[in-house]
Structure 1
């Protein structure tokens, strides 16, 4: 009975959020259109980046991003529609801002020369490299979306333990972008960018009341 009352009370939000969910999907696909070389490509590799080792085992962490994003979005869409709205707008904003940067300031990350057949982890990295061009690196959407996912769990006090666990996971995601040579250190700016975007909409939608 309470479930039906909750759904009835929030049906307008569910309608709005359904539209936002569709927009998340389509704005995320802009990445595929911009992930190529332009007339001016920048390489942000530094001597410090060259010291970062290649650790193919981090592919497991790296590939966990999408499932965790989907679980988080579905959870807040279903149970906390008022929180989902600013979260969705944050995702859309992050995709739009990042892809704008990719268009006006395209970057390239040199990758290690690896071949298929060495072991399971290397094979998975080879598959990653073949499916994702080495462009659209600054800011890193892997870092940004992981930071968004971890941020939203802090809104509700009762999810604080989950929030800390997801934060550890987000840090590992960021590390995975480095150890897999998908990004350079400068690209990590995607994480604070995403947190900043979320904080803006956190205040706009007055999510303090959800604490």
Structure 2
């Protein structure tokens, strides 16, 4: 496989760079809101879902790589929409900070320890919308370029990540719904931006138009 095939993967560095914004805002501030509902209080705590939750980051990079190998434009659209989604999410965090109460996690058990690892490395803020949900939904859209044999595992894993946000009490229903709603909006916006960029590249430069005009006059 030619090395130039993989050069677009360098744009994946935009993801951790944009996530620096998340880290800067992931703290308590005045006016922190809680969107917990009775449904959230009755949602069971299932520590085993910490596995798909923790595998979210590798999942994004693997799926985006698979999309690139299948359809370059779809790769750029999915990645651009993801970056736009991160920007929109962080803007919302800045204006509307929320928190989610966390349960006491037993010390025993592998899955419980994994949940404790999540809690230790992520403060209970920046919840609305859920970035895990928004980006996983975008992987559902982007994976349309893949063969069905590959897409089915992608869909199953993306849905398990979305479910994990509720079952390990990292998010509430409102966060999940917001993430799902933002995804198609940024996916559509990314398509528009790529279309505009493509049309600009195809349009002849002023110099080229002038040369063409003079050539027509000479004829």
Do these two structures clear the TM 0.5 threshold for a shared fold by scoring above it? yes
Whether 1:147 aligns to 2:167 is no
What runs of 5+ residues in structure 1 fail to find an aligned partner?
Answer: 207-211
Whether 1:32 aligns to 2:27 is no
Counterparts of residues 163-178 of structure 1 (less than 5 Å): 163-178=151-166
The answer to whether the 8 Å contact 2:12/2:61 transfers is no
Q: CA offset at residue 19 of structure 1?
A: 6.2
The answer to whether the 8 Å contact 2:63/2:154 transfers is no
Aligned to 2:66: 75
> How far, CA to CA, are the matches of 1:176 and 1:103 in structure 2?
25
Report the more deviating stretch, 57-66 or 76-85.
76-85
**Alpha carbons of structure 1 residues 167 and 18: separation in structure 2 relative to 1, 3 Å:** closer
Rg larger in 1 or in 2? Answer: 2
Aligned to 2:189: 200
**Alpha carbons of structure 1 residues 171 and 79: separation in structure 2 relative to 1, 3 Å:** closer
Normalised by the length of structure 1, the TM-score is: 0.82
Q: Pick one of 65, 88, 91 that aligns with 1:100.
A: 91
Counterparts of residues 57-136 of structure 1 (less than 5 Å): 57-116=48-107, 118-136=108-126
Normalised by the length of structure 2, the TM-score is: 0.80
Aligned to 2:39: 48
What runs of 5+ residues in structure 2 fail to find an aligned partner?
Answer: 196-219
Number of equivalent positions: 194
